Chains A and B, each alone.
Chain A
Amino acid sequence: MNLDLPLTRNVRPDRSPTGLAAYEANGGYRGMKSAIGKLSPADCLQIITDSKLRGRGGAGFPTGMKWSFVPMEDASPGHKYLICNADEMEPGTFKDRLLLECDPHQLIEGMICAAYTIQADLAYIFIRAEYHRAAALLRDAIAACYEQGYLGKHILGSDYSLDMQVHSSAGRYICGEETALISSLEGKRANPRAKPPFPQVSGLWGRPTIVNNVETLCNIHHIIERGADWFQGLGLTEDAGTKLYGVSGRVKKPGCWELPIGTPIREIIEHHAGGMEDGYRLRGFLPGGGSTDFLTPEHLDLAMDYGTIGKAGSRMGTGTMIILDDKTCPVGFVRNLMAFFARESCGFCTPCRDGLPWSAQVLDDIERGRGRPEDMDTLARQVEFIGAIGNTHCALAPGAMEPLQSAMKYFREDFERHISGSACPFCDGGAH
């Protein structure tokens, strides 16, 4: 058993799923057994808080603190919910898929422990529409757990009961936003909700609800079983634990790896991803998915953790990098991303609904050689107008602006060449 890389220890080279027997043979459900009936929910919460686990969905919010807002016991009688956010739709991100498809029981065990900690009685796995293979595996795994008595009434003979269901999304990026996910799960339009109130006090059906990312939940039982100190020891920097890192783009070996959190970016790209393909040079990269700011080769020696990447002007996000090489047009790159975010806006608030399509239209004009010098001012105003959290109803639009604003900073001359030359310099004759 690999104690240093707990999340992927059951991932087989052929990516075949790990069944209940194999999972238990490799130490599975021990975390659950050490929690339910042995530790109080408050003890579990303390362990998670002490472990300094931060949410792996992108925002990096401390998990223990998030859970601590859930009213416990008599303060709020009635249902409580745990939701696993498996709506992995961030451009360039495929880390949760690995965990879902290769080791479904790991997620279920993590969820049982998390649900026990907040005393939820119903857990949902809200899974991306296209992840039908993972959804089927999870449904089978959940059925096996019910048979085994790991789910259902009186888990392990205790007073604690938990039901679990898989819900396949109808397929919108915004469903990955936790409050939009809740709206969607209630059968409503997938519009995010204003906070406060936070889901921890008024979430699904108006009841206390915790929404956590797949990777976050997969850590829970390991931490409860082995302790906060063990978990903190896994990280190379201030942050604790391991992290699934991914690289896509023109590298020799694109992929996804579990590494200690804080691994230097250069090691991830050059060692694990095998470096750039021959004939291509690294111009920049989005460190954590489509809604993070570009970093450039000068940032390669930074540690990949929340604080370091934040100080460099970007976000670690999902930890899955998208590479921009020197033969790919940065304007076209950003245009494609902007078109995606504009299309995925829920349409609730003005800056996102109308501002993103406008930005996408301007970028499209520039990319097609129809740009005008004043377009750079328009884009700059859009960045200011949409880019700040709080200007919009949720974080989608500010996230969408991150690649644009950093591209305008690092690749400004490319924009200007498009405009002055009335063509995309990366394409033959500028035509697409």
Chain B
Amino acid sequence: MPTITIDGVAYEVEQGRNLLESCLSLGLDLPYFCWHPAMGSIGACRQCAVVQYQNAEDTRGRIVMGCMTPASDGAIFSLSTDKAQRFREAIVESLMLNHPHDCPVCAEGGECHLQDMTVMVGHRARHYRGRKNTHRNQYLGPLINHEMNRCITCYRCTRYYRDYAGGTDLAAMAAHDHIYFGRHEDGVLQSEFAGNLVEVCPTGVFTDKSLVHDYTRKWDLQSAPSVCTGCAVGCNTIPGERYGRLKRVHNRFNAEVNGYFLCDRGRFGAGFVNSDKALEFPGLREADGRYRALDHHEALHRMTALCAAGKVAAVGSPRASVEANYLLRLLAGPDNFAPGFSDAEQDLAGLALRLQQQSAALVPDIRTIESADAVLVLGEDVTNTAPRIALALRQSVRNRAYELAAGLRLETWQDAAIRNLAQQQRSPLFIAAVADTPLDDVATRRMSLAPAQIAALGLAVAAGISGTAGDTPDAAPDDPAAIAAALAGASRPLVIAGTGCGSAAVMEAAASVANALCSAGKQAMLCLCVAEANSLGQAMLAGPDAPDLGELERRAREGQIDTLVVLENDLYRRGNRDRVDALLANCANVIVLDGLDNATTSAATLALPAANFAESEGTLVSLEGRAQRYFPVFQPREERRPSWVWLLACLKELERPEVHPLHHFDDITRACAADVPALAGITAAAPDLHYLNLGVKIPRQPARYSGRTAMRANISVHEPKQREDEETALAFTMEGLNRTQPGALLPWVWSPGWNSNQSLHKFQTRAGGPLKGGTAGVRLLQPGAALARGSTDTSASAAPESGNPAGLWQLVPRPRIFGSDELSALSPGLAELVTPAFIELCPADADSLGLASGDGVEVGTGLATLAVRINATMTPGCAGYSIGFEGTANLAPLARVELRRAPNWQRAPQLIGSDRGTGAGGSHV
């Protein structure tokens, strides 16, 4: 390790880091703006200036930029010398020339990196007396607010948006001190990851629009460590609450999962928590069909009575916690517990689990995905099913650039230099999908294929790797040999597939490719995406023999079910409406626990208000098999209770012996771990209730949380006692220590002098490195440990089929990041971005049906009637549909259906620009 001298003190630093990183890692405060731990250095802001001395005799030294200077052995620096300090102060003074000083009305105030750095360099007096530049702000969509006057031109936004996330519609424009960061015209930012601008911007140019409209300072937010429920990736989040409302979601750093970035579904998709559709009281359906509100005591008695009376079956949910599902499974018994997937998805989710358990390939976390140097994606549109993985793939294709950089001995943090060196050279990324995907721009090749053809391609690639490709005709247009060669020639090849395209054959083919690579001696990676936050956990809990919804429907029809308990699941999204109607109608009693009113709660005999993720604790198992714990951010309103509380209380009322020893949430986790072998590890997901930080619990509120005694004064001047959290290691208070606890228990980041999220480095082992308290979550799938190499079967049995039976189209899911997920689509800003449900056809197929874009098409006989989109990249014979959207529940993946022009179709009205209220110069606040 190199030794450097800073202000006369010798420090050992990590090899290959620049001076700024090294200083931050050593705990030294060196101000900066343009450098970002995930994006490296460009040397634009000149804020991290230090003085470097040539040798011990050199007393003058020269100013160098910390972020652009390697911390090489023997180097001598000074941070504190007057020359360096005055220079850093001059930089802030220059940045402040045009800054509006509008901190009191700025949404960034109180967590503004510019404020922090201004204080840090000691800039107080303003000498400039010229006019300030002012800019026109833009409408950037419903999620992000734009206030260009605050800009200090650090270039982080465009570097993130364009270079890191691959966006094209945000750019630096104009020159000198007129630089403008925006779009070429007002409009919605197109990147699925635009929301990270809010955290990347060191001041208040890009702010969270929902927060701006419903504002709370960071110091007044009550927060808890949480896990995103938007998809199965399991990104770590920090939701913030005030007055019982969820105000915003920030990224919670996890070195192995989301790092510094979330997708927009995750960041802006939690607004459903504040929905006025939230159930607040238990409801019992009266004879006239209306619901009577009950208190929780009566509700519990009713629930217990209904469950005691007869044969109970239950439907769990892949969006509910492991613990709640486990208790539900106890209540109904494993034979009567359906995990709550749609019938098609249940097999696929089980297959995803089995293939990963049986493969010798490594199941990668997100950081490991970024290290892949050749990638094959089969069938899965990850940007729309597991978005954070798409952002990771955009980094993986840069491994070619890092190889080139190593050849010139360029350090990895030399971001601009490496991009200039590599230009368009990228590591191989092959995508086979039914149509275009948002990753096509960085793909070596993207092939439009029907699911069966994708599976066949995968098998051909596997055969090519194994050297058994003899009888495959070379003329295959998709050139599996080239893909096989690229994967086999890589040192860290990765294969991605998933349940997203609805095909078991595709997933099996992906596993075959990974297994073939393992057999060829490569440490291959296999990533299989599933749909929901706990899909994999649910597959682990339910096991392969659990009944599916179709089976329950049959049993109900045969009178085998008296009471059906549905946990956090709108069954009308899971299957054909008629069959769900039949299932619910054939059960005498239907108990539904859920957070929001939906079609299933409206069919319940007894509806119980279940706390959402921000009001309760639970464990979720992500697609990589990482069990992670989320914690309540605030107390549920009125009679809302976490599902596990309802279920545990019911089981206790029923005097079930299994729950006798269970009192706390942690007891359920332990019981589940002991009971279900696949979930044995979940107790390690986070420390239990008894964890203390130097004798006290961890505070959800920062030390400067204000107004505690005044918040309820309009209701009563008598301040209630702070509620005690009896279930977790966190407390609803500002008293306590938030410092060195395990990463799973980090509710917010703050450090003296570092009020913004940039304070994170104070919690990391090194700037940009893992948290000091350890990375949150525990892996349940042991990476690559399942089978010895070479023993895997690479000959999956997908029967290649070609062509369509005459007049039929194959339905293929086209998931959308905004709209396919149930709850995020109900969040106000995000809901504006949800398009109407659609059927996607290639131009020739649309022509043959006489359909133009926007026309209506009837699918099958009354299955659905949807608007047509024409997509030139859609595979002929395939009809893509917006899975998860309203009106598509009757459509089953891969089904072959007739399509015909819908009679009496009314085209959707088109929003025109003036509807957006884009008044000139308006800030849209």
Taking Cβ atoms with an 8 Å cutoff, the residues of A that contact B are 172, 186, 189, 193-194, 196-197, 201-202, 205-206, 342-351, 353-358, 361, 365, 374, 378, 381, 385, 388, 390-393
Contact of B44 among A197, A344, A348, A365 (CB under 8 A): A348
Pair B46/A202 contact, Cβ less than 8 Å: no
B176 within 8 A of A: yes
Min CB distance B343 to A, Å, is 52
With a cutoff of 8 Å between Cβ atoms, the chain B residues found around residue A392 in the complex are 46
With a cutoff of 8 Å between Cβ atoms, the chain B residues found around residue A390 in the complex are 62-64
Identify the interface centre among B62, B95, B420, B425: most chain A CB within 10 Å of its CB: B420
Pair B63/A348 contact, Cβ less than 8 Å: no
Give the residues from 75 to 103 in chain B that come closer than 8 angstroms, CB to CB, to chain A. Answer: 86-87, 90-91, 94-95, 97-98
Min CB distance B161 to A, Å, is 15
Pair B408/A354 contact, Cβ less than 8 Å: no
Pair A202/B179 contact, Cβ less than 8 Å: no
With a cutoff of 8 Å between Cβ atoms, the chain B residues found around residue A374 in the complex are 127
Identify the interface centre among B47, B94, B152, B410: most chain A CB within 10 Å of its CB: B94
B155 within 8 A of A: yes
Pair B94/A351 contact, Cβ less than 8 Å: yes
Identify the interface centre among B63, B87, B175: most chain A CB within 10 Å of its CB: B175
Q: Closest residue of chain B to A347, judged by CB? A: B179
Pair B417/A202 contact, Cβ less than 8 Å: yes
Contact of A194 among B45, B95, B417 (CB under 8 A): B417
Pair A348/B155 contact, Cβ less than 8 Å: yes
Pair B91/A350 contact, Cβ less than 8 Å: yes
With a cutoff of 8 Å between Cβ atoms, the chain B residues found around residue A391 in the complex are 46, 49, 63, 87
Docked complex Cα distance between A197 and B421 (Å): 9
Q: How large is the interface on B (under 10, 10 to 19, 20 to 34, 35 or more residues)?
A: 35 or more
Pair B420/A381 contact, Cβ less than 8 Å: no
B906 within 8 A of A: no
Pair B87/A353 contact, Cβ less than 8 Å: no
Pair B175/A345 contact, Cβ less than 8 Å: yes
Pair A353/B153 contact, Cβ less than 8 Å: yes
Give the residues from 39 to 61 in chain B that come closer than 8 angstroms, CB to CB, to chain A. Answer: 42-47, 49
Contact of B97 among A358, A381, A393 (CB under 8 A): A358
With a cutoff of 8 Å between Cβ atoms, the chain B residues found around residue A350 in the complex are 44-47, 91, 94-95, 152-153
Min CB distance B143 to A, Å, is 27
Q: Closest residue of chain B to A344, judged by CB? A: B176
Min CB distance B77 to A, Å, is 14
Pair B94/A194 contact, Cβ less than 8 Å: no
Pair A193/B45 contact, Cβ less than 8 Å: no
With a cutoff of 8 Å between Cβ atoms, the chain A residues found around residue B94 in the complex are 350-351, 353-355, 358, 385
Pair A347/B176 contact, Cβ less than 8 Å: yes
Docked complex Cα distance between A239 and B195 (Å): 58
With a cutoff of 8 Å between Cβ atoms, the chain A residues found around residue B677 in the complex are none
Min CB distance A198 to B, Å, is 10
Pair A343/B176 contact, Cβ less than 8 Å: yes
Min CB distance A181 to B, Å, is 13
B68 within 8 A of A: yes
B580 within 8 A of A: no
Docked complex Cα distance between A194 and B421 (Å): 12
Pair B176/A196 contact, Cβ less than 8 Å: no
Supplied contacts A344-B175, A354-B153, A355-B94, 7 more A-B pairs, CB within 8 Å: A196-B417, A350-B91, A351-B46, A357-B176, A365-B129, A385-B94, A393-B44
A-B contact number at CB 8 A = 112
B423 within 8 A of A: yes
Docked complex Cα distance between A355 and B416 (Å): 24
B128 within 8 A of A: yes
Pair A351/B91 contact, Cβ less than 8 Å: yes
Contact of A354 among B47, B87, B174, B177 (CB under 8 A): B177
Pair B175/A385 contact, Cβ less than 8 Å: no
Min CB distance B272 to A, Å, is 41
Docked complex Cα distance between A344 and B175 (Å): 8
Pair B46/A206 contact, Cβ less than 8 Å: no
Pair A347/B153 contact, Cβ less than 8 Å: yes
Q: Closest residue of chain B to A357, judged by CB? A: B177
B178 within 8 A of A: yes
Pair A342/B44 contact, Cβ less than 8 Å: no
Min CB distance B168 to A, Å, is 14
With a cutoff of 8 Å between Cβ atoms, the chain B residues found around residue A348 in the complex are 44, 155
B707 within 8 A of A: no
B913 within 8 A of A: no
Pair B177/A206 contact, Cβ less than 8 Å: no
Min CB distance B516 to A, Å, is 33
With a cutoff of 8 Å between Cβ atoms, the chain B residues found around residue A205 in the complex are 423
Min CB distance A338 to B, Å, is 12
Pair B176/A349 contact, Cβ less than 8 Å: no
B172 within 8 A of A: yes
With a cutoff of 8 Å between Cβ atoms, the chain A residues found around residue B177 in the complex are 342, 345, 347, 353-354, 357
Docked complex Cα distance between A226 and B510 (Å): 68
With a cutoff of 8 Å between Cβ atoms, the chain A residues found around residue B129 in the complex are 365
Docked complex Cα distance between A13 and B98 (Å): 52
Give the residues from 403 to 424 in chain B that come closer than 8 angstroms, CB to CB, to chain A. Answer: 404, 408, 410, 414, 416-417, 420-423
Identify the interface centre among A346, A348, A385: most chain B CB within 10 Å of its CB: A348
Q: Closest residue of chain A to B47, judged by CB? A: A350
B130 within 8 A of A: yes
Q: Closest residue of chain B to A342, judged by CB? A: B176
Q: What 8 A-B pairs have minimum CB-CB distances, sorted nearest first?
A: A354-B94, A361-B130, A347-B179, A345-B176, A206-B421, A385-B90, A202-B421, A206-B423
Min CB distance A168 to B, Å, is 18
Pair B176/A388 contact, Cβ less than 8 Å: no
Q: List 22 A-B contacts (CB under 8 A).
A: A193-B420, A197-B421, A205-B423, A206-B421, A206-B422, A345-B175, A348-B155, A349-B44, A350-B94, A351-B46, A351-B91, A354-B97, A354-B177, A355-B94, A358-B94, A358-B97, A361-B130, A381-B90, A390-B62, A391-B63, A391-B87, A392-B46
Pair A349/B46 contact, Cβ less than 8 Å: yes
Identify the interface centre among A186, A342, A355, A365: most chain B CB within 10 Å of its CB: A355
Given A205-B423, A385-B87, A390-B63: A353 in contact with B417 (beta carbons within 8 A): no
With a cutoff of 8 Å between Cβ atoms, the chain A residues found around residue B68 in the complex are 194
Min CB distance A59 to B, Å, is 18
Pair A349/B408 contact, Cβ less than 8 Å: no
Min CB distance A339 to B, Å, is 11
Given A189-B172, A393-B44: A388 in contact with B417 (beta carbons within 8 A): no
Q: Closest residue of chain B to A190, judged by CB? A: B175
Pair A378/B127 contact, Cβ less than 8 Å: yes
Docked complex Cα distance between A172 and B176 (Å): 11
Min CB distance A69 to B, Å, is 12
Min CB distance B35 to A, Å, is 13
With a cutoff of 8 Å between Cβ atoms, the chain B residues found around residue A388 in the complex are 62-63
With a cutoff of 8 Å between Cβ atoms, the chain A residues found around residue B127 in the complex are 374, 378
Min CB distance A78 to B, Å, is 11
Pair B408/A197 contact, Cβ less than 8 Å: yes
Docked complex Cα distance between A202 and B423 (Å): 11
Docked complex Cα distance between A381 and B127 (Å): 11
Min CB distance A88 to B, Å, is 20
Pair A193/B416 contact, Cβ less than 8 Å: yes
With a cutoff of 8 Å between Cβ atoms, the chain A residues found around residue B43 in the complex are 194, 349, 393
Min CB distance A55 to B, Å, is 22
With a cutoff of 8 Å between Cβ atoms, the chain A residues found around residue B98 in the complex are 354
Docked complex Cα distance between A285 and B129 (Å): 31
With a cutoff of 8 Å between Cβ atoms, the chain A residues found around residue B172 in the complex are 189, 347
Docked complex Cα distance between A201 and B130 (Å): 43
Docked complex Cα distance between A349 and B127 (Å): 20
With a cutoff of 8 Å between Cβ atoms, the chain B residues found around residue A342 in the complex are 176-177
Contact of A202 among B128, B153, B178, B420 (CB under 8 A): B420
Min CB distance A190 to B, Å, is 8
Min CB distance A296 to B, Å, is 28
Quick one: CB contact mask for B185-200 with A, threshold 8 Å, 1 for yes? 0000000000000000
Docked complex Cα distance between A196 and B127 (Å): 35
Docked complex Cα distance between A358 and B68 (Å): 26
Min CB distance A178 to B, Å, is 13
Q: Closest residue of chain A to B45, judged by CB? A: A350
